[in-house]
Amino acid sequence: MAPTSTPQTPFGRVLTAMVTPFTPDGALDLDGAQRLAAHLVDAGNDGLVVNGTTGESPTTSDAEKAQLVRAVVDAVGDRAFVVAGAGTNDTRHSLELARAAQDAGAHGLLAVTPYYSKPPQEGLLRHFTAIADATDLPVMLYDIPGRSGVPINTETIVRLAEHPRIVANKDAKGDLGRASWAIARSSLAWYSGDDMLNLPLLSVGAVGFVSVVGHVVTPELRALLDAHLNGDVTKATEIHQKLLPVFTGMFRTQGVITTKAALGLQGLPAGPLRLPLVELSPEETEQLTRDLAAGGVQL
């Protein structure tokens, strides 16, 4: 059973969007996934998002996705929330993934805006509602127009928030003004989905993070969050500024690529990438090492 949730923090406060470890030959590494999940929860994560973008969901099969959820739930599901990515640009396929995630023991669903198709807002409303209706699990929307091509407009967010199982939003829109209005007008728990904006989003009402850099700096993210909650703006700002090289370095190229490289530098399970993603060059690895060191990450 997962930790107790509240309406304000339905999935806890600090979550990492976990990579999917693969074996050297490119197969799913379930043992590695369990070891990485345990490491991340030990580091201070309240929850993990699996089968998301950082989990290379476009290149894992439906069967692999279910196996991964089950393995991570078995490893840490009694002490952390396991949220499963179920969103695609095909509503019927998304419903199948949602039901499979529930059957595998997930505690919640992450539903990204349908990508490539560029549906209108009414299409988004019906898509997310169908996912929320498909299972008994709470749903976190994922608003990332840079990848999907379409934002979830504030009016749509407000309407979706009326659904009893749509409880949160992962915001990677990069627009603090629109986030402010959506937080003020909806009941959704707001999670930063853009590490560089973790602190700014807290300042306008976010409750926590779904982080990529949490793979390497979860304790620092927790300290930043605690400082903010305790009203110590100076300390929160100091931590934010200390982490700027990490925020920058982990996104000099596609985040999965740098994250797996960083985990490899730390001797943690990660493994290779699946095409079309490719490993860092030696020069890029050297730059990442410098960036992480500048942010205080021990390698």
Taking the chain (299 residues) in consecutive chunks of 10 residues, what is each chunk's mean pLDDT? 80 98 98 98 98 97 98 98 97 98 98 97 98 98 95 98 98 97 97 98 98 98 98 98 98 97 97 98 98 95
Say what the pLDDT of residue 1 is.
63
Place of tokens 């999917």: 20
Q: Quick one: which of 137, 136, 110, 111 has its CA closest to 124?
A: 111
- Is residue 54 annotated as involved in ligand binding? yes
Say what the pLDDT of residue 4 is.
76
Q: 192 forms bridges with which residues in the sheet?
A: 171, 209
Say what the pLDDT of residue 55 is.
98
* Residues with active-site annotation: 142, 170
End-to-end CA distance of the chain: 34
Nearest-angstrom CA–CA distance, 98 and 176: 30
DSSP 113: P
Say what the pLDDT of residue 118 is.
96
Say what the pLDDT of residue 3 is.
73
- Is residue 217 annotated as involved in ligand binding? no
Cα distances (Å, whole numbers) of residue 124 to 10, 21, 129, 147, 275: 22, 31, 8, 15, 29
| Continuous segment of H or E residues that includes residue 236 | helix 233-242
Say what the pLDDT of residue 6 is.
83
| Continuous segment of H or E residues that includes residue 16 | strand 14-17
Handedness of CA 217, 222, 228, 230 (dihedral sign): negative
Q: Report the C-alpha dihedral over residues 93, 98, 102, 104, rounded to 10 degrees.
A: 50
